[in-house]
Amino acid sequence: MSEFEQPTIEPPNPPTLEEQLAQAEAKAAEYLDGWQRAIAELSNARKRMQREQADFQAAATVRILEKLLPIADDVDRAFTVVPADQANSDWVNGFRMIQRKLQAFLDGEGVTLISTAGQTFDPALHHAVTHEEADGYSEDQIIAEVGRGYRLGDKVLRPSMVRVAKGM
């Protein structure tokens, strides 16, 4: 080759149509996979957010109910000391209406009393205030309820405060 001769440059081989199609299909599969992953992540995030929102709402409901229970107990206790001559007065009847509405609210939320009468002491449901000897009761049988206990479904909002018989 002389100084003045130009080297011949061959143009690069353009990809064949089959190669171009294979590259395009690979790119499309990559994009499809990314899109499907993004959709799955979004779906999972949505489910997690709904679950967290439901948990937060349930916890808020429990906190409110736990604060209302002592009020319901106080209203019930107030009726035990109403003088007989005022039992049918307007203000006592007004408080009875409040008591019924409060009880209807608790019932509507699914709050139920924890049973104690004739039951055996269960530390998951009852809080023993005393253990005492008592005739006619077997060991760990509840003698009396000192304070009401409440449940919300399977969750104990407040255990019953009870007196428990101990073995003689």
Q: Tell me, yes or no, whether 144 lies in a domain.
A: yes
Structural domain contains residue 3: no
> Is 36 inside a domain boundary?
no
Q: Determine the pLDDT at residue 168.
A: 60
Percent of the chain at pLDDT > 90 equals 76
Q: How far is C-alpha 159 from the chain's CA centre? A: 18
Domains in the chain, number = 1
Residue 13 confidence class, pLDDT cut points 50, 70, 90: confident
Each residue's pLDDT tens digit, 49-103: 999 999 999 999 999 999 999 999 999 999 899 999 998 999 999 999 999 999 9
Q: Which residues form the domain of 152? A: 111-168
Residue 121 lies inside a defined structural domain of this protein: yes
Tokens read off for 139: 């060991």
Q: Does residue 124 fall inside a structural domain?
A: yes
What are the pLDDT digits (tens) for 103-117?
A: 999 999 999 999 998
User: Is 21 a domain residue?
Assistant: no
Tell whether 83 is covered by a domain. no
Assign 3-class secondary structure to the chain: CCCCCCCCCCCCCCCCHHHHHHHHHHHHHHHHHHHHHHHHHHHHHHHHHHHHHHHHHHHHHHHHHHHHHHHHHHHHHHHCCCCHHHCCCHHHHHHHHHHHHHHHHHHHCCEEECCCCCCECCCCCEEEEEEECCCCCCCCEEEEEEECCEEECCEEEECEEEEEECCC
Task: Of 144, 139, 137, give the one whose Cα is nearest residue 163.
Answer: 144
The pTM (predicted TM-score) of the whole model is: 0.69
pLDDT at 36: 96
For residue 72, give the nearest of 142, 153, 157, 154 by alpha carbon. 157
125 is a domain residue: yes
CATH number at residue 150: 2.30.22.10
| pLDDT score recorded for residue 146 | 93
Q: How far is CA 33 from the centre of its chain?
A: 36
